[in-house]
Structure 1
Amino acid sequence: MSQLSMRIEPAQGPYQRVFLAGRLDGATHGELDAALAPLLNDGTHILEFNLAGLEYISSAGLRSIFRARKALHGHAGRVLVMQPQPGVRKVFELVKAVPVEEVFASQEELDTYLAAIQAKVARGEL
């Protein structure tokens, strides 16, 4: 039986974190879609998926993350993937659902990326 554990932290301005654990597949992706729906239209510009606890992702799970990415991209938002397990990271690399430059192994990598984005915004480049 598939199980997905999900925790959505309170938003920090336009930044939202979603922690996933277990399996994101055909049986569980609907839970994620339902939880994400309100976030995709509430002013969220950066949606971080922390996948440290995610053991498995199927094509249905990838579609959920890709749909979120597409929805946010429509208003200059981004989806970032944090700490995927090696097997899950390999799936992301193979199908290119999220660009490799938006997949981070650590909080330090993510913080460096976000600082660079903020600097570009401050300079008017984004």
Structure 2
Amino acid sequence: MDLTTTVAVDEENSVARVSLAGALNTDTAPAFELRLQDVVDKNYALTVLDMKDLDYISSAGLRVIFKAAKQTRGRGNKLAAANRKPHIDKVFEILKALPDMAVFANEQELDDYLDSMQSQVRGD
């Protein structure tokens, strides 16, 4: 599955909205990282990741988001995730509950777990 991103900017309020549609995974994360980095580099006070149409997220996608969050925080700005579907929200809940704990043997094990949790919440 591919990932489509669109960026809408409200210059007056210094807000960028990055809408994601499709899957943010190992294949799509590198291009998304470049696109998101371009937005972060413009130093908006708030960057919103609109996940209304995001169907799947892997550890590669999470790394891109966490890297951008760290960069925006370091610049005194904010990064927010909005409109998360229940299965995407579940991934963020899991990571919030275990922020500093390495629970998985490797990246593939983490991706398999995230895939399983997202499938379970979707009812697949």
The count of aligned residue pairs is 97
- 1:84 to 2:84 alignment: yes
What is the distance in 1 between the residues matched to 2:45 and 2:96?
Answer: 21
Give identity over the alignment, percent: 32
What is the letter of the counterpart of residue 52 of structure 2?
A
* Structure 1 segments unaligned to the other structure (5+ residues): 100-126
Give the equivalent residue in structure 1 for 2:23. 23
Q: Deviations over 1:20-53 (max 9, x none)?
A: 0110000001111111122222221211000010
Moved >3 Å (runs of 4+): none
TM-score, scaled to structure 2: 0.72
What is the letter of the counterpart of residue 23 of structure 1?
A
What is the letter of the counterpart of residue 64 of structure 1?
V
What is the distance in 2 between the residues matched to 1:25 and 1:32?
Answer: 10
Give the equivalent residue in structure 2 for 1:55. 55
Shift of 1:11: 3.9
What is the distance in 2 between the residues matched to 1:68 and 1:39?
Answer: 10
Matching of residues 7-46 of structure 1 within 5 Å: 7-13=6-12, 14-46=14-46
